[in-house]
Structure 1
Amino acid sequence: METECFTWEELEKLAYVLKAVAHPNRLKIICLLSKNGEMSVSDICDRMGCSQALISHHLTDMQAKGILLIRREGRNAFYSMASDHVTEAMRCMMKCTK
């Protein structure tokens, strides 16, 4: 099955990524990382005012789905965006909602 502009496989991949970021906390994390580059879990928690358990859950899931990169240094974990594609898509979607 194919639409005019996307194959079925492309649509499945797009839905997978959209589901992975479809939460306000996850979108806020993406904004923070896009603006600040690499950040530690504790820095993200401080900026968001959420518990470490909640933030870690979101970070781990987005990292597992290829949206975020992780770098470990001792007991600390530092996250960054895997690419700027998700942020670009967010900007595009915001234009569509205006």
Structure 2
Amino acid sequence: MTQEIITITVEAGQMTARRKSRKIDQRRPVPVWAIVKYAALTIAGIMLFREGAARALAYRGYFAVGGEVFALFLPIFYYCLSRTVRDLITDIKNGFKPEYEED
């Protein structure tokens, strides 16, 4: 059993491997207002769910989880809607031009 030594050289036309550097120390901090906003939305969603479950219990006469469970997704709905509106406003300002041109 012979062991062969393989050497790889970088010649013209070949790229060297690039490593993505992780800059853990340079991460953008999360603003406190964002944490407070989503915590308030979560609490509001829980309160809406509990109120909806109580009303549904009174209406149905038995406990079951129905559409009121979607109140728990209030932070996710808010994020999706706000992101969509933000992108729409950006598109309107830019005249609906693509961000990049395809060659």
Task: Tell me if both proteins adopt one fold, taking TM over 0.5 as the criterion.
Answer: no
Higher normalized strand content (fraction of residues):
1
Q: Which has the larger radius of gyration?
A: 2
TM-score for both structures, normalised by structure 1: 0.24
